[in-house]
Amino acid sequence: MTITELMPFSVLVPLIASLVCALLPGRFWPWAVTLAAAIASAIIAALTLPAAAQTTLSYAFGNWPPPIGIEYRVDAANAFVALLVAGMAAITLPWAKKSVDKEVPERQGTFYALFLLALAGLLGITLSGDAFNIFVFLEISSLATYGLIAYGSDRRALLASFRYLIMGTVGATFLLIGIGFLYVMTGTLNLHDLSERLPEVRDTSTVRAALAFIIVGMGLKLAMLPLHLWLPNAYTYAPSFVTVFLAGTATKVALYVMLRFVFTVFAPDWSFVVLPLSTVLMILGVAGMFAGSWVAMFQPNIKRMLAYSSVAQVGYMVLGVSLVSVVGLTAAFLHLFNHALMKAALFMAVGTVIYQVGSARIEQFRGLGRTMPWTLTAFALAGLSIIGVPLTAGFISKWYLIQAALDQGQWVLVALILITSLMAIIYIWRVIEAAWFKQREPDQQAVGEAPLTLLIPTWVLVALNFYFGIDTRLTVGGATAAAEALLSGGLLP
């Protein structure tokens, strides 16, 4: 079996395992099957990345040759994102066991089946080379996500899920309209084939409208600033494990789809000229960085604070894209990877606190630095990464972002990036202040350190934050290859 034949299994394994999972009773086996499927997926994705970085892998489903059949077409860009998604699932699942047992005591078979569907959907989006297939996988992962969010114990989880369903469906339908317009103009749905046939017809209002629809649709899914309204509630009220996984993967995959369309399908020398994309994305990115960080500073609920911080981090990625250069795109891909690491570590630390204390409100963090030193130290160290302190992964991505801005002489952007990093210090500091410099109130319950099954996965992610801050061969190498793969389609404007 060659790597090309193996690669589709990273989608098929979770898809089939979800069926098995839905039928399993009890609490242990659904989780065990999910973990095994996620690890298998991650291993396949890890094997795919080096092969895809050398040549583009293409697998034709059912042996129907593309562009007629559905093709999985994997280059450095999707292999990088697929490794991130499958890897995050495999790393966070060991943590999930205890947290999910507490927050979702019943019907865990269905819960893990939905999780596997979401995972299969996200991986399908990244690997597929067929536009309509991407839409179907997007809806598979979204529908599973709505179900997962509704599992939250607070009744507001239902509202958050419903609102996400409305906005997410509108976003996905916009993508469908865009794909429809492209199909009408070219008669093909294969992304590679589209990129070859589009240049002949692209100076028509239909194709321009398609570009606009796809950008707005994916902007919704990716929580780009004015379209981010679904995200804070969804992240706040979902079960902790769902938040950890979504924060690490869902918005990243949406960003990937947007980049795939803007850069590969419509060449950047067209898409960035016909629409003022560079300006629009830059303004929205910077606005997202500021608004997200600003609102995060005043949130009494730490999960919601981190959710707004995610809106800000998406801003950094969008800003990297808006610079339309290899370094800028590299920064976007780097931040996509590093942000998944740091935000998952932060949400896991907060989830551990919720496991012990039962709430993520800032008052509940008082004095925890002494009674739960390992959990809160993990939070503080992952916080350093989100601020962008040297030797952490967050520093590397901000470094590349600043370099990309400097290459174009955009001094203002550099200042803005530094200011928003200072705002990150403030919101992370609030937690540290409560945890170490305030006493626990007498009426608050005293808690001890969390169990090791929660601490070890959290610390693995914290360690990865520092590892990828020092040894950047995998991340920078992968991100550069991904950026070059996307830009190979067309010349820069």
Partner 1 sequence: MMTALSFFNYWVVVILMMIGFYCVIARGNMVKKIMGLNLFQTSVFILFISAGKIVGGSTPILREGVEVYSNPLPHVLILTAIVVGIATTAVGLALAVRINEAYGSIEDDYIAEEEDGDGQ
Sequence-distant (≥ 6) Cβ neighbours of residue 152 within 8 angstroms: 103, 158, 160, 161, 237, 238, 239, 242
| Cβ 150 to partner 1 shortest distance, Å | 6
Specify whether the CB–CB gap between 302 and 350 falls below 8 A: yes
| Cβ 184 to partner 1 shortest distance, Å | 5
Specify whether the CB–CB gap between 166 and 194 falls below 8 A: no
Q: Which is nearer to partner 1, 156 or 370 (CB)?
A: 156
DSSP letter (8 states) at residue 190: B
Q: Give helix 393-407 / helix 302-322 axis angle, nearest 10°.
A: 30
Would you call 128 helix, strand, or coil by DSSP? Answer: strand
| Cβ 78 to partner 1 shortest distance, Å | 22
Cα–Cα distance, 322 to 95 (Å, whole number): 36
| Cβ 186 to partner 1 shortest distance, Å | 12
Q: Which two tokens stand for residue 264?
A: 């590969």
Q: Which is nearer to partner 1, 299 or 313 (CB)?
A: 299
| Cβ 45 to partner 1 shortest distance, Å | 26
Q: Which is nearer to partner 1, 240 or 397 (CB)?
A: 240
Q: Which two tokens stand for residue 470?
A: 């020092």
| Cβ 362 to partner 1 shortest distance, Å | 10
Q: Which is nearer to partner 1, 51 or 297 (CB)?
A: 297
Q: Which is nearer to partner 1, 55 or 153 (CB)?
A: 153
Sequence-distant (≥ 6) Cβ neighbours of residue 111 within 8 angstroms: 30, 100, 104, 148, 151
Torsion angle of the four alpha carbons 115, 118, 122, 125, in this order, in degrees rounded to the nearest 10: 150
Cα–Cα distance, 337 to 472 (Å, whole number): 12
Q: Which is nearer to partner 1, 153 or 453 (CB)?
A: 153
In which element (H, E) is residue 433 found?
helix 411-437
Residues binding partner 1 (CB under 8 A): 132, 135-136, 139, 143, 146-147, 150, 154-156, 158-159, 161-162, 165-166, 169-170, 173, 176-177, 180, 183-184, 189, 299-301, 304, 361
Q: Which is nearer to partner 1, 43 or 158 (CB)?
A: 158
Cα–Cα distance, 54 to 331 (Å, whole number): 21
Q: Which is nearer to partner 1, 279 or 359 (CB)?
A: 359
| Cβ 216 to partner 1 shortest distance, Å | 12
| Cβ 301 to partner 1 shortest distance, Å | 5
DSSP letter (8 states) at residue 57: E
Q: Which two tokens stand for residue 128?
A: 């597929």
Q: Measuring CA to CA, which residue among 346, 341, 282 is closest to residue 309?
A: 346
| Cβ 365 to partner 1 shortest distance, Å | 14
User: How far, rounded to the nearest angstrom, does the alpha carbon of residue 168 sit from its chain's CA centroid?
Assistant: 15
| Cβ 315 to partner 1 shortest distance, Å | 24
Q: Which is nearer to partner 1, 217 or 369 (CB)?
A: 217
| Cβ 161 to partner 1 shortest distance, Å | 6
| β partners of residue 76 | none
Dihedral sign computed on CA atoms, order 76, 80, 81, 87: positive
Specify whether the CB–CB gap between 353 and 444 falls below 8 A: no
Q: Which is nearer to partner 1, 361 or 440 (CB)?
A: 361
| Cβ 262 to partner 1 shortest distance, Å | 22
The type of residue at 365 is F
Q: Which is nearer to partner 1, 217 or 320 (CB)?
A: 217
Q: Which is nearer to partner 1, 20 or 159 (CB)?
A: 159
Cα–Cα distance, 66 to 58 (Å, whole number): 9
Q: Measuring CA to CA, which residue among 201, 251, 249 is closest to residue 84?
A: 249
DSSP letter (8 states) at residue 264: I
Specify whether the CB–CB gap between 393 and 338 falls below 8 A: yes
Q: Measuring CA to CA, which residue among 382, 362, 352 is closest to residue 94?
A: 352
Question: b/e map of 92-110 (b: 16 or more CB within 10 Å)?
Answer: bbbbbbbbbebbbeeebbb
